[in-house]
Amino acid sequence: MDEDEELQAAIAASLAEAERERARAGAKRNANIDIIDLTDDNSASGDEEAQFERELALALEASKETSAGFGRSAAAPALTVPDSAPAAPRALSPSVSLVATPGPSQSGTSAPSHSTQPAPAVQPGPTVPFLNERAKMEQERLARQKRHLEERANQNGTKRPRTTSPTPESSSAASSPEFKRNVLPKVAEKPNVDPTGGYFWDGEIRQTGNAHVEADPNRPRFRIREIVSPTSDLEFVLLSSYCTDTPWLTTFLPTSKPLLLVVDPDPDQRGHAGLKHLGIGDWLRVTPRIWQSRGVMHIKLMLLFYKSGRLRVVLPTANLVDYDWRDIENTVFVQDLPSIPDPSSEDPQSHDFPTYLWSVLKSLNVPAGLLNLVNTGYHELPLQSLEDLQNKWDWSKVKARLVASVAGNYEGWYNVRMYGHPRLAAVIRDIGAPPKKGKVLNIECQGSSVGNYTTQYLNEVYKSCCGIDPIDWLDTPKARLAKLPWPPVKILFPALKTVDESVFGRNGGGSFFCRKMYWNKAGAPKQLFHNAKAKDGRVLMHTKMIVGTYRTGALLIPRPTPLALPNGKGKGKEKVEVIVLDSDTEDESVTEQEGSTTEDESGDVAEKAPEAWIYMGSHNFTMAAWGSVGGSILAPKLNISNFEMGIVLPIRDKKELERIVPWEQPPKRYGPNDVPWMQEEHRAAEEPTWRQLAATD
Encode pLDDT of 374-424 as tens digits: 999 999 999 999 999 999 999 999 999 999 999 999 999 999 999 999 999
Residue 261 has pLDDT above 70, yes or no: yes
Residue 63 has pLDDT above 90, yes or no: no
How much is the pLDDT for 24?
A: 56
pLDDT bin (cut points 50, 70, 90) of residue 138 is low
Residue 638 has pLDDT above 90, yes or no: yes
Catalytic residues, by residue number, are 298, 542
Give the lowest-confidence range in 79-93, 187-201, 268-282, 530-544: 79-93
461 and 340, same domain (yes or no): no
Inter-helix orientation angle 3-23/42-66, to 10°: 150
Average pLDDT over residues 431-436: 95
Domain of 306, in residue numbers:
197-392
Residue 260 has pLDDT above 80, yes or no: yes
Q: Which long-range contacts (CB under 8 A, 24 or more apart) does 290-294 make?
A: 290/264, 290/265, 290/407, 291/407, 291/408, 291/409, 292/407, 292/408, 292/640, 292/641, 292/642, 294/624, 294/641
412 and 349, same domain (yes or no): no
The answer to whether residue 510 sits within a structural domain is yes
Give residue-wise pLDDT tens across range 450-487: 999 999 999 999 999 999 999 999 999 988 988 899 99
88 and 160, same domain (yes or no): yes
Overall domain count for the chain: 3
Give the percent of the chain with pLDDT over 70: 61
483 is in an annotated binding site: no
How much is the pLDDT for 232?
A: 96
How much is the pLDDT for 496?
A: 97
How much is the pLDDT for 90?
A: 33
Residue type at position 68: A
Give the range with max mean pLDDT: 63-77, 79-93, 169-183, 300-314.
Answer: 300-314
Give residue-wise pLDDT tens across range 589-631: 333 333 334 444 445 555 677 999 999 999 999 999 999 999 9
297 and 340, same domain (yes or no): yes
81 and 206, same domain (yes or no): no
184-222 burial string, b = 16+ CB within 10 Å, else e? eeeeeeeeebeeeebbbbebbbbbbbbebbeeeeeebbb
pTM assigned to the model: 0.68
What 8-state DSSP symbol labels residue 309? Answer: S
659 and 511, same domain (yes or no): yes
Give residue-wise pLDDT tens across range 146-178: 554 555 444 444 333 333 333 333 333 333 323
544 is in an annotated binding site: yes
CATH of the domain at 215: 3.30.870.10
By three-state DSSP, how is residue 115 classified? helix
Residue ending a domain, among 152, 180, 208, is: 180
